[in-house]
Chains A and B, each alone.
Chain A
């Protein structure tokens, strides 16, 4: 139940916990949504490095999260998916199409910096 919200280089980062319950995630989503509004954040990095497994349930929650964030005006960038987890995901047909991705937190931050410069 230790999903947490942090700030990196002035950007909002949501770090998800693999052992979180569904209820915990829903609660966290609400918290995140509020914070996005409060900070008028244009983008949120969602760090999935703590997820040892992404099954259809998790993928659905992530999609939902992405939609919610966009509705609040923040573009979600999913980062930190482990290669083996990515492999398992596409085998199941879970591709998170339409959601921006980056290798990890650093790569995600770089991407946001580029957008600020208008280059990406």
Chain B
């Protein structure tokens, strides 16, 4: 993979997808998949990224009504990565610890699918409070730590 020294630390443009209804979920994950494809992610990784975006966008609609998903190409510590930031001004996640618990079952009750989407990405951070929630997830190309 050739690096252009001059563009190494530069960020590319950010894709912002406004999430207001279910069609936007489709749009967000398609854009995510496309960006990942352009960056050279394998099709398997593209599916993981698209799924995580879908999960996060769904949460926005269900629990906040609307919000946005931002997609960005980064190269932190010299490795290419895609960053997904899902944010909303909803009521926040009441019990974050509980929401991040495993023990998820397909026939199970309500859940935010957070532990699942965490497992799809390489880095996953949740910031939540009464004024909203921002989830930042990152996936690196190629080898995973």
Contacts and interface: CB of A to CB of B under 8 A. Distances in A.
Contact between chain A and chain B defined by CB under 8 Å: yes
Interface of A: 18-19, 21-22, 52-57, 59-60, 62-63, 67, 82-85, 87-88, 91-97
B55 A57 contact: yes
B106 A55 contact: no
B26 A92 contact: no
Contacts of B47: 52-53, 82, 84-85, 87-88
Interface string B18-60: 0000110010011001000000000110111011001100100
A57 B106 contact: no
Contact of A88 (B26, B51, B105, B106): B51
| Contact size range, B | 20 to 34
Given A19-B26, A21-B22, A92-B119, 11 more contacts: A18-B26, A52-B47, A53-B51, A55-B51, A56-B113, A57-B58, A60-B108, A82-B47, A83-B44, A84-B44, A91-B48
A60 B51 contact: no
A59 B106 contact: yes
B104 A93 contact: yes
B46 A60 contact: no
Contact of A60 (B22, B43, B44, B106): B106
Nearest to B116: A92
B107 interface: yes
A95 B50 CA distance: 18
B10 interface: no
B102 interface: yes
B120 interface: yes
B119 A56 contact: no
Nearest to B105: A93
What 5 pairs between A and B have smallest CB-CB spacing?
A92-B116, A56-B113, A84-B47, A55-B55, A21-B22
